[in-house]
Structure 1
Amino acid sequence: MTLALSIPSALSARLRRRWLVAAALVLVGMGVVGFWGSVYTHRSFFNEAEARGHNTLRLAIAVLRGHMARYENLPEVIAGFDEIQDLLAAPDNPALIDEVNHYLKEINEQFRSSDIYVMGMDGTTIVASNFDGERPFVGDNFQYRPYFFDAIDGGEGRFFALGTTSFKRGYYFGAPVVVGGETLGVVAVKIDVETIEDTWRGGGDYQIIVNDPEGIIFMTSEPNWLYNSVLPLTRERLARTAETRRYANAELRELPLADVSDENHRLYTIAGNAASTEYLVVSESMPEADWTVSVLLDTSSARAQALTAIVIALLAMAMLILAGAVVIQGRARLRERMQMQRDAKELLERRVIERTAELASVNNKLEEEVAERRATEARLRKTQSDLIQAGKLAALGRMSADLSHEFNQPLAAARNYADNALVLFDRGRIEDARRTVANISGIIDRMTALSRHLRNFARKPNEKLSTVPLGQVVADTVQLIDWRIKASGIDLTIDIPPGLAVMGGPNRLEQVLLNVLANAMDAVEAGEDRRILLSASRKADRVTILVRDHGPGITAGANERIFDPFFSTKGTGKGLGLGLSISYNIIKDFGGELHAGNHPEGGALFTIELNAADIEPIADAAQ
């Protein structure tokens, strides 16, 4: 693998440098193409969108003009009717008023206008088509409306406004009623604009707005923009609007827009509920109505199309460059491969010789390491065995002083029994002397059993695992520390089901239990609660042994190092710190686990997990 990598690295360094330079030039070229292409495609798609906007704008203006043209001559025609002229000549004639009211209502229904009404010279409405409606105009004064005073002055009255009585938007046409060269009043026709708005809605990616000279939107395909201004609402603009009461009590606001136009297109961004939207704006004025009609096209579609076109162009350019690079690289690789074959042959011959020598050297080193590791493993096993034995001897050493009392007490009792037996023999009380001698024999048997347990405990075990009756091992362990249990007033509770057995060595398992129980006794000796529980249970093929005390428990720092060699929380001279470390390794040798922690209700809890076994005769009791 090293050979395969080194030859191309040596031969293609110059080629890689050339490719890096070429790649940099290509990236720069694609960046330039991408930038100028983006400018061109955006301008192209925006121009296309602007053309569509102009078509929509022309259609919208044509609809508005056609709708207005239908009604612009109607007030002048109605002003020429004899009934209207007679009414203005005699405005207090009830019969004539009722007749003209019904007449105007009939004309309004026929032409489908919003309202038709006649005002006197003071601007007060005399008759109206909605005389019988919920909000009739009869009696209302509209002299402040431009369509009224423009018509009174002999001009053409036109005005867009929100009705102060009906609160409906409409466009007003006014015409004077002239009789004998004298103006007697004004006829006004109001047309509804909401029907035109309905045709604008659902137009897709564009919106249509119509605003007055003050910039206030009064017709729009977007209901949320109604009565919003595209120009700042200055005091002068608000004053001019209030003078004619054009929008009655409607709340006027400024449209939240920002002008982001570039040198080619007029662009607005308008804030919405969720985010801002960018629009391409095309506008045209309607001088006859003093309106400005605008079409706002959402630019997201045009920008997406422009981006797609740029991506396609760059991909096509990249494909062409890639195809050319493949051809050039193929030729370069062919020349390089031929040179590589020549160089590889020479290099291979040198490497074979070098690698053969290296492999021979490595093989020798491996053999030396294997031999060294085997020797180290043997020394480690011996050291581990010596540590276990040292731990046991250390435990025996710690027990020796207290065990002397355990031996001295029965020896003193045996001496007393012997003296009593001599006295009984002298007095001829043979049966009493026999019982006294039997007591001496029992004392000797007890001391012999204790000595045997100590001798077996101190003996070095072999490495063979066997079936170990757990109850017997626990009994032997307790017999070794029974003197301490009684001396310290410890309450030891043992819960071992009969017939429970594990895989291990009885002597080494006894050493583990002795170390764990010794730690538990150390923990409870200084407290008032001196209870210790030793229990065991079997689940499937595992046996769990629990040793729980009611001492202060294991601290957080000690819990992490409790099984480390030479770690001890006891004072100086009270142990080597090897007991739990040796116990941990013994349980590992048995294929089990040893854990230490704290019980939820307080005190330390040691858990020993071993492989379960069936009861069999122990072949080597000294194991």
Structure 2
Amino acid sequence: MQRTRPFPLVFGAIAALCVVGALGWFAWQRATVYYFTELHDRGQNTLNLAEASLRGQLSRFERLPQLLADQRVIRSLILAPRDPDLVMAANIYLRDTAEMLGASDIYVMYRDGVTLAASNFDQAHSFVGGNFAFRPYFYDALGQKGAGRFYALGTTSNKRGYYFGAPIDVAGQRHGVMVIKIDVDGIEQAWASDEMRIIVTDPENIVFLSNRPDWLFRSFGPMTPARLARTEQTRRYANARIGQIDYARETDANGFDLLRTAADDGATLEYLVARAPMPDADWTVQVLLNARPARVQVASAVALGGLALVLLMLTGLILWQRRRQLAERLAVQQAARDELELRVGERTSQLAAANAALRDEVGERRATEDRLRQTQSELVQAGKLAALGQMSAALSHEFNQPLAAARNYAENAQLLLDRGRSADAHDNITRILGMIDRMGRISRHLRNFARKPHQQMRPVDLGSVIADAQELLGWQLDRSGVVLNVDLGSDPLVVTAGAVRLQQVLVNLLANAIDAVDGNETKQLDLVAGRVGDMIELRLRDNGPGIAESVQARIFDPFFSTKEVGKGLGLGLSISYNIIRDFDGRISVRNHPEGGAEFTLRLHAAQPRSAEAAE
């Protein structure tokens, strides 16, 4: 019997170890890239969420200072800063506004930097009387920039916050600055996590926000005199002591940004860093993920892979040594291969049948898509027919009111002629002709409205439109015994709208209000209009039973009506809603606290001279 020499076995073992070493190094590199990429992607997702939450929180308040600066109470205070009544009124307004908006503090600063009024006027750390002229949000807003942003630790409240400043201009002169401070503590609470650090640093690389307080107000690296001077110039951190974080930063061969710091127990902590700048806020948001779990995963994966490879190679060597004993298994393997080929053939046939079925299914789906397109075309045609039907109903509804008025005037004219009062009868006939002309204008206007609704808008005198609507419904008001009180103020009110369509809206609202008070002993309608900023607001209130809460959400839907069958098509308010929307205005309804329903129209104001030129 011939013995096997040990040299091939030793040579094979050495070669196997070399192969295992080379494969292990390669696997280590690939596993490092894989797990660190996975860790970086998780950090990037967290970074995106953190950045989005910061931007969302800041964007909520960015434009509010300018809006508050235009309020009458603020402008009055900035013109008379020593008036105690105005100061108290501004304090209360700012406190209520801060509670409503969820802001930390809101305050008004005079042009010399002294705080005139603040939302925390009644608290121990009130800002009233404090001078914050050294803050960038003040001098940036007061200067040519016209707006200020700054984040800092409050010198009075000793609380962190982000500040927005806006100038207060009166008559073209800059008198002061409106400031809103928002609290950032809630953002940190939303970042609570034990697996990673989320920090926000300033341009001096000082941590301003952190989900772990041990790094708060600490600087990466030593604070040089230049860095300290820039920080103390604006007193960003008030009297807080700026600590130091000893760290080392590098980018490894795979492009990953790594940061190493020392823990309190002296151990070295390694973090994988994902960062993103926020230039608008002058911040850098960073997510630091502990790299140790990834290192452990890499080592475990390489160890398991190496162990599996060694076992595989050992198995191969053993099989190689015992190759002569495998001859009997070759026949079995051949049979297994034959059986496998048979199964492959059967599987191929099954796949062919599946492919045929799939082709049939694709054909059916294409036919279904063709039917769907045809159905969509039919639905478009049906939609056109429905629109035509609704327009016909709308024309019928809009003509009923002037026709009823014309009939009433005709009956009165007949009675007047019988009594020999030809002059009064002639006046009624003139009104009937006016109604006929108005019906023509309504028809023509509805046609124009259907084609190009925005081309007919112009300055319209609201008083004239209301007077025309009163004249149109005068007979109905007299017959129903309804008292209409109109209060338009002393100044002329001119809106940007279409005269005929606006009159349609008023006629619809007044007619509905007359019906609403039917049955009351005292029937009264109040029509009040006035200017609110750059808008004209018109309110119509009745003393009827009001509108149920469940109905108010559907009151402007087409064909929805609370009247009895035969007393309305349910189109008046729907048409009115669409007309006001075409005017870029708003219409709303509510139940008045003292009873009855109240409809409110808000339309853009126009200049009276423009209305005269349009007329």
TM-score calculated relative to the size of structure 1: 0.51
Q: 1:40 aligns with which of 16, 30, 48?
A: 30
**1:267: which partner in 2?**
258
Residue 245 (structure 2) pairs with residue 289 (structure 1) = no
Q: Give 1:331 shift.
A: 4.8
Aligned mates of 1:48, 1:38 — CA distance in 2: 15
Aligned mates of 1:36, 1:254 — CA distance in 2: 39
- One-letter amino acid of the structure 1 residue matched with residue 51 of structure 2: I
**2:73: which partner in 1?**
83
Q: 1:153 aligns with which of 123, 133, 143?
A: 143
Q: Please list every run of 5 or more consecutive structure 1 residues that lacks an aligned counterpart in the other structure.
A: 1-6, 335-623
- 1:258–1:268 contact (8 Å) kept in structure 2: yes
Q: 2:293 aligns with which of 285, 291, 301?
A: 301
Aligned mates of 2:73, 2:84 — CA distance in 1: 13
Deviations, residues 465-484 of structure 1 (Å, cap 9, x unaligned): xxxxxxxxxxxxxxxxxxxx
Aligned mates of 1:58, 1:190 — CA distance in 2: 24
**2:528: which partner in 1?**
none
Aligned mates of 1:172, 1:277 — CA distance in 2: 35
**2:45: which partner in 1?**
55
- 2:249–2:260 contact (8 Å) kept in structure 1: yes
- One-letter amino acid of the structure 1 residue matched with residue 156 of structure 2: T
Aligned mates of 2:29, 2:223 — CA distance in 1: 36
Aligned mates of 1:242, 1:15 — CA distance in 2: 82
- One-letter amino acid of the structure 2 residue matched with residue 136 of structure 1: S
Q: Give 1:325 shift.
A: 1.4
Residue 194 (structure 2) pairs with residue 217 (structure 1) = no
Aligned mates of 2:66, 2:222 — CA distance in 1: 38
Residue 163 (structure 2) pairs with residue 164 (structure 1) = no
Residue 202 (structure 2) pairs with residue 236 (structure 1) = no
Q: Please list every run of 5 or more consecutive structure 2 residues that lacks an aligned counterpart in the other structure.
A: 327-615
Aligned mates of 2:103, 2:23 — CA distance in 1: 59
TM-score calculated relative to the size of structure 2: 0.51
Q: Give 1:137 shift.
A: 0.5
Aligned mates of 2:238, 2:196 — CA distance in 1: 29
- 1:210–1:294 contact (8 Å) kept in structure 2: yes
- Superposition pairs for residues 568-583 of structure 1, below 5 Å? none
Report runs of 4+ in structure 1 exceeding 4 Å deviation. Answer: 331-334
- 2:141–2:165 contact (8 Å) kept in structure 1: yes
Residue 109 (structure 2) pairs with residue 119 (structure 1) = yes
**1:278: which partner in 2?**
270
**1:98: which partner in 2?**
88
- SS of the residue 1:70 aligns to: helix
- SS of the residue 1:92 aligns to: coil
- One-letter amino acid of the structure 2 residue matched with residue 159 of structure 1: F
Residue 296 (structure 2) pairs with residue 315 (structure 1) = no
Q: 2:166 aligns with which of 162, 175, 183?
A: 175
Q: 2:196 aligns with which of 201, 206, 212?
A: 206
Aligned mates of 1:22, 1:258 — CA distance in 2: 45
Q: Give 1:221 shift.
A: 1.0
**2:14: which partner in 1?**
24
Deviations, residues 76-112 of structure 1 (Å, cap 9, x unaligned): 1110011111111111111111111011000001111
- Superposition pairs for residues 532-611 of structure 1, below 5 Å? none
- C-alpha root-mean-square deviation of aligned residues, in Å? 1.9
- 2:263–2:269 contact (8 Å) kept in structure 1: yes
Q: 2:184 aligns with which of 157, 176, 193?
A: 193
**1:255: which partner in 2?**
245
Provide the aligned length of Structure 1 versus Structure 2: 324
Structure 1 or 2, whichever has the larger Rg, is 1
- 1:143–1:149 contact (8 Å) kept in structure 2: yes
Q: Give 1:231 shift.
A: 4.6
**1:64: which partner in 2?**
54
Aligned mates of 1:221, 1:270 — CA distance in 2: 17
- One-letter amino acid of the structure 2 residue matched with residue 197 of structure 1: E
Aligned mates of 1:194, 1:49 — CA distance in 2: 27
Aligned mates of 1:222, 1:271 — CA distance in 2: 16
**1:447: which partner in 2?**
none
Q: Give 1:299 shift.
A: 1.0
Aligned mates of 2:288, 2:324 — CA distance in 1: 57
**More deviation in 60-69 or 261-270?**
261-270
- One-letter amino acid of the structure 2 residue matched with residue 277 of structure 1: L
**1:143: which partner in 2?**
133
Q: 1:324 aligns with which of 316, 319, 337?
A: 316
- SS of the residue 1:36 aligns to: helix
Q: Give 1:333 shift.
A: 10
Q: Give 1:328 shift.
A: 2.2
Aligned mates of 1:125, 1:157 — CA distance in 2: 16
Aligned mates of 1:78, 1:119 — CA distance in 2: 13
- SS of the residue 2:124 aligns to: coil
- 2:198–2:211 contact (8 Å) kept in structure 1: yes
**2:407: which partner in 1?**
none
Aligned mates of 2:325, 2:44 — CA distance in 1: 59
- SS of the residue 1:113 aligns to: coil
- SS of the residue 1:288 aligns to: coil
Aligned mates of 1:51, 1:230 — CA distance in 2: 24
Aligned mates of 2:178, 2:137 — CA distance in 1: 10
- SS of the residue 1:171 aligns to: strand
- 1:162–1:168 contact (8 Å) kept in structure 2: yes
Aligned mates of 1:52, 1:135 — CA distance in 2: 42
Aligned mates of 1:332, 1:33 — CA distance in 2: 30
- 1:217–1:229 contact (8 Å) kept in structure 2: yes
- One-letter amino acid of the structure 2 residue matched with residue 65 of structure 1: R
- 2:221–2:246 contact (8 Å) kept in structure 1: no
Residue 64 (structure 2) pairs with residue 74 (structure 1) = yes
Deviations, residues 414-459 of structure 1 (Å, cap 9, x unaligned): xxxxxxxxxxxxxxxxxxxxxxxxxxxxxxxxxxxxxxxxxxxxxx
Q: Are the structure 2 counterparts of residues 84 and 154 from structure 1 closer, same or farther at C-alpha, using a change threshold of 3 Å?
A: farther
- SS of the residue 1:110 aligns to: helix
Q: Give 1:124 shift.
A: 0.6
Q: Give 1:332 shift.
A: 7.9
